[in-house]
Amino acid sequence: MTAPLLEALEVRKSYGDRVVLDDVTLDVHPHDVVCLIGSSGSGKSTLLRCLNLLEDVDDGVIRFEGREISDPHVDPREVRQRMGMVFQAYNLFPHLSVLDNCTLAPRRVHGLARGAAEDRARELLATFGLADHVDKHPDRLSGGQQQRVALVRALCTQPTLLLLDEITAALDPELVGEVLGIVRDLAERGTTMVLATHEMGFAREVATTVCFLSDGRILEQGPPQQIFTDPREERTRQFLTRVLPG
């Protein structure tokens, strides 16, 4: 087996007296799609933010591409050049057009020429059905379109790893499918992803590994077939009984 692209080893994170990540260990290999499931407050979003160095860890080690990135001396901006993240709330720049939102980081952070950055962005926007919206501002788009733009913006930096934090949670139900369709397409293209999601059917279909988090711990992890049909932990069974139809 190839070496992990990302490793988290016994990662701990607390806010005051509240432990939000408790000895979390996780390996992500190239082309993996790792789905984090669990109740709200179980630690999914905090784990993603720690992996992307948006939060400092209290203990443990995170390695990315063979390098320890949890070291306080590591520049988070350098790490994020290779690791894209998409949030629940889109976080698009409202004063910039779709095209400018997607080309800002490649030009300013990666030093890509404007023409090359725009060519890359236009190609991705067209791939995901947004070719007619390149000159619009975010407030002219639906929620689903804005989230698709956020995904394209992350992909424009050509990240090695993509982190997705509940990206359908703020969408109307009829828009969820169009965003999940893009993520499904990315998975089929071999994009390495770690995503927190409440969409159990999607996790079952797309994930290579499903991790069930409870009280800040990865209580159980395995292939989706095992997690969804024969979970080993009683807490996992209780959670799935509540969230799965039937």
Q: Is residue 32 part of a domain?
A: yes
Give mean pLDDT, residues 207-220: 97
Question: For 89-152, what is the HEC assignment?
Answer: CCCCCCCCCHHHHHHHHHHHCCCCCHHHHHHHHHHHHHHCCCHHHCCCCHHHCCHHHHHHHHHH
Q: Is residue 147 part of a domain?
A: no
Task: Give the three-class secondary structure for 83.
Answer: strand
- Rounded to two decimals, the pTM is 0.93
**Sign of the alpha-carbon torsion through 128, 129, 133, 137:** negative
CA 150 to chain centre: 12
Q: Is residue 106 part of a domain?
A: no
CB atoms within 10 A of CB 29: 16
∠ CA 201-194-155, nearest 5°, is: 105
Q: Is residue 155 part of a domain?
A: no
**Domain with 204 in it: what CATH number?**
3.40.50.300
Q: 216: Cβ–Cβ under 8 A, 6 or more apart, which residues?
A: 13, 19, 20, 21, 22, 24, 42, 43, 46
Give mean pLDDT, residues 128-140: 95
pLDDT the model gives residue 244: 87
DSSP designation for 233: S
Q: Is residue 172 part of a domain?
A: yes
- Label the pairing between strands 161-165 and 83-86: parallel
Q: What's the total number of domains in the chain?
A: 1
Instruction: Please report which confidence band the pLDDT of residue 221 belongs to, taking 50, 70 and 90 as the band edges.
Output: very high
Report CA dihedral (132, 152, 191, 166) to the nearest 10 degrees: -110
Beta bridge partners of 165: 196
- State the average pLDDT for the chain: 94
Q: 223: Cβ–Cβ under 8 A, 6 or more apart, which residues?
A: 207, 208, 209, 210
Summarised one tens digit per residue, pLDDT across range 36-59 is 999 999 999 999 999 999 999 999
| pLDDT exceeds cutoff 90 at 3 | no
14 token code pair? 């607390």
pLDDT the model gives residue 121: 96
Give mean pLDDT, residues 8-27: 96
Please tell me the chain's helix, strand, coil percentages from 3-state DSSP, rounded to the nearest 5: 40, 25, 35
| pLDDT exceeds cutoff 80 at 245 | no
* Count of all residues that appear for the chain in the document: 246
Instruction: Please report which confidence band the pLDDT of residue 1 belongs to, taking 50, 70 and 90 as the band edges.
Output: low
Summarised one tens digit per residue, pLDDT across range 135-185 is 999 999 999 899 999 999 999 999 999 999 999 888 888 888 888 999 999
Q: Is residue 111 part of a domain?
A: no
Q: Is residue 101 part of a domain?
A: no
> CA–CA distance from 86 to each of 91, 164, 235 (Å)?
8, 5, 29
For tokens 């080993």, what's the residue? 232
Q: Is residue 200 part of a domain?
A: yes
| pLDDT exceeds cutoff 70 at 246 | no
Domain limits for position 31: 6-88+160-243
pLDDT the model gives residue 57: 95
